[in-house]
Structure 1
Amino acid sequence: MSSDITLFVNPTAGRGRGAHAAQPAADALRAAGHSVRTVLGLDAADALRRAREAVADGTGALVAVGGDGMVSLALQAVAGTTTPLGVIAVGTGNDFARSLGLPVRAPAAAARLTAALLRDDAARTVDLGRVTTPAGPRWYGTVLASGFDSRVNDRGNRMRIPAGRFKYDLAILAELAAFRAVPYRLVLDGLAVETDATLVAVGNGTSYGGGMRICADARTDDGLLDVTVVGAVGRATLLKVFPRVYRGTHLDHPAVTTYRVRTVTLDAPATTGYADGEPLGPLPLTAECVPGALRVLAPGTAPS
């Protein structure tokens, strides 16, 4: 494996934490004997082009410095290749890092762990989700969201203030005021299911939104996607059940149905899909699990 490592940096992640994290991460990797180059990019498309060039040139690892959005971009460069992905998680949510038992908002510690795993050639192989979109296939590592949660994302993305997670808390309150279930058509490994639902989430990983364990039983190494369907519930029930999402105990509520599938197609009117917090476009969308699609620099045992 090449000792040349590429840092893939989002300087704006976590309200500037990405820029501050790049230096201690680079220092820790250099101290372990690696040659480190940094990729920024003029915009997301340019950054992805540069990351793909680094992978094609044989970099020993692509190390994403930022949050889940930066990890999502990195996945588009390394998925399906032999190049391992490292993660220095300094964003707002960091759900991908949490699902793999990686340090969060501790860039030097994360870089030292990355260096140790590189030294021992100890990258893990994990599954990824792959979504078919009009713009082409897109990989994701955590959760594909649709319904109430994607509407919260839509609204939050339109809001200029406040910053950080508080913006999405306000977006949740605003969406509750206009809350309604929508008719879904799901195709689960070929089986069609029609239902009114508040939201449908498709998890390769367990959580989104900074620790909301919407697909709490999902595993990144079982070759399957976990589908969580929250049925047509009222505002009062949604407000009562919502706090349980952080513990994953919402799955036993009678309004919640779960499936475990290899492929799923989601269709619902006027609904956007998001994966790893990034917009995919309007439904319908089809997601599939691709076993072993990613080599990732993470401990051998993820948290339950």
Structure 2
Amino acid sequence: MTSDITLFVNPAAGRGRGSRAVRPAAAVLRAAGFSVRTVLGHDAPDALRRAREAVAGGTGALIAVGGDGMVSLALRAVAGTPTPLGVIAAGTGNDFARTAGLPVRDPAAAAAIAARSLKGDGGRPVDLGRVGDTWFGTVLASGFDSRVNDRGNRMRFPTGRLRYDAALLAELAALRPIPYRLRLDDGPEQHIEATLVAVGNGRSYGGGMRICADARLDDGLFDVTVVGPCRRTTLLRVFPRVYRGTHLTHPAVTTHRATTVTIEADGITGYADGEPLGALPLTAETVPAAVRLLGAR
């Protein structure tokens, strides 16, 4: 194991928490005997290029400092390589870190765990999802939730969390079932109407919404949550249960497990790790032990 490791930083994550997390994280890693270099990028493609260069150059670990968007970029750099991934969760949602049992918004504690893991087991193998050449660690979202993201991304006002809330209310007013074509592994194509279909490598998205509450990072399977057609009043009643994962017992919700999932629906964008993947149809496959994750439980 080389003692040279790389902090892969989004300084803007969590309204500046990413930038503030670098110093305590680096101090802990250096105190543990590691040589630390920091990699930033002018934009996402530039950051990914720099991360891949660090991995190709033999860095002992790539440690993402930021939120799920930064972790998603880091996964693209390390997936399928021997380079382990560490996570200093300093973003808004931090769902990948939550699922892995890593500290959230405590950079010193997260760095200490990464250092112990590097000196010990070298990280635990965990699964990832893959759509084409894009990897994801948490959830592939499609339907009502992705429409909220689409609308929020188009809005100029309001800003911040209020923009998401405004987009949510607008999509709720326009709520209607979506005709899906869904295929699980080699099974038959299912024609269903649903409010959303979520494909989970991890349990949660959106900062703790446990949409695929029983998903595990090491079982080689996706958990697929299908929310059937709902009235607005039903969705409003069920929605708070998503944070506890108890929505899975509602009659409108069905769950499945599969290694490959193909989703088709007209006019729907797929999002994974909160980032747009593109319009459906999309096929996601689970890749067991695709990355070694430092400190995962």
TM-score when scaled to structure 2? 0.97
How far apart, CA to CA, are the structure 2 residues paired with 1:89 and 1:162?
Answer: 27
| Change in CA separation of 1:166 and 1:109 when aligned onto 2, cut-off 3 Å | farther
**Which of 107-116 and 286-295 deviates more?**
107-116
How far apart, CA to CA, are the structure 1 residues paired with 2:160 and 2:92?
Answer: 7
1:260 is the counterpart of 2:257: yes
Unpaired stretches in structure 1, ≥5 consecutive residues: none
| Change in CA separation of 1:36 and 1:161 when aligned onto 2, cut-off 3 Å | farther
In structure 2, the partner of 1:51 is 51
Report the CA distance between 1:232 and its aligned residue: 0.8
Alpha-carbon contact 2:202-2:216 (below 8 Å) kept:
yes
1:295 is the counterpart of 2:273: no
How far apart, CA to CA, are the structure 2 residues paired with 1:7 and 1:226?
Answer: 31
Report the CA distance between 1:159 and its aligned residue: 3.1
Other structure's SS at 1:286 match: strand
Other structure's SS at 2:114 match: helix
Other structure's SS at 1:237 match: helix
Alpha-carbon contact 2:226-2:255 (below 8 Å) kept:
yes
The one-letter amino acid paired with 1:270 is G
Report the CA distance between 1:162 and its aligned residue: 4.7
In structure 2, the partner of 1:194 is 191
Other structure's SS at 2:195 match: strand
Other structure's SS at 1:59 match: coil
In structure 2, the partner of 1:143 is 139
Alpha-carbon contact 1:15-1:164 (below 8 Å) kept:
no
Report the CA distance between 1:160 and its aligned residue: 3.9
Alpha-carbon contact 1:92-1:164 (below 8 Å) kept:
no
Other structure's SS at 1:130 match: strand
In structure 2, the partner of 1:212 is 209
Cα deviation, 1:201-229, whole Å, max 9, x if unaligned, reads 00000000000000001111111101100
Report the CA distance between 1:128 and its aligned residue: 0.5
Q: What does residue range 82-93 of structure 1 map to in structure 2 within 5 Å? A: 82-93=82-93
In structure 2, the partner of 1:29 is 29
The one-letter amino acid paired with 2:26 is A
Cα deviation, 1:212-267, whole Å, max 9, x if unaligned, reads 00000111111110110001111011111111101111111111111100101000
How far apart, CA to CA, are the structure 2 residues paired with 1:121 and 1:5?
Answer: 16
1:244 is the counterpart of 2:230: no
Unpaired stretches in structure 2, ≥5 consecutive residues: none
1:113 is the counterpart of 2:113: yes
How far apart, CA to CA, are the structure 2 residues paired with 1:283 and 1:131?
Answer: 11
How far apart, CA to CA, are the structure 2 residues paired with 1:80 and 1:162?
Answer: 41
- Runs of 4+ in structure 1 off by over 6 angstroms are none
Alpha-carbon contact 2:197-2:225 (below 8 Å) kept:
yes
Measured on the aligned residues, the alpha-carbon RMSD in Å equals 1.1
In structure 1, the partner of 2:20 is 20
Cα deviation, 1:103-129, whole Å, max 9, x if unaligned, reads 101111111111111121340000000
Alpha-carbon contact 1:184-1:196 (below 8 Å) kept:
yes
Alpha-carbon contact 1:68-1:276 (below 8 Å) kept:
yes
Report the CA distance between 1:190 and its aligned residue: 2.1
Alpha-carbon contact 2:223-2:256 (below 8 Å) kept:
yes
Cα deviation, 1:13-49, whole Å, max 9, x if unaligned, reads 0011111111111111111111111110111111101
1:63 is the counterpart of 2:60: no
TM-score when scaled to structure 1? 0.95
The one-letter amino acid paired with 1:144 is L
**Selected match of 2:220 from 177, 201, 223:** 223
1:178 is the counterpart of 2:152: no
Alpha-carbon contact 2:84-2:122 (below 8 Å) kept:
no
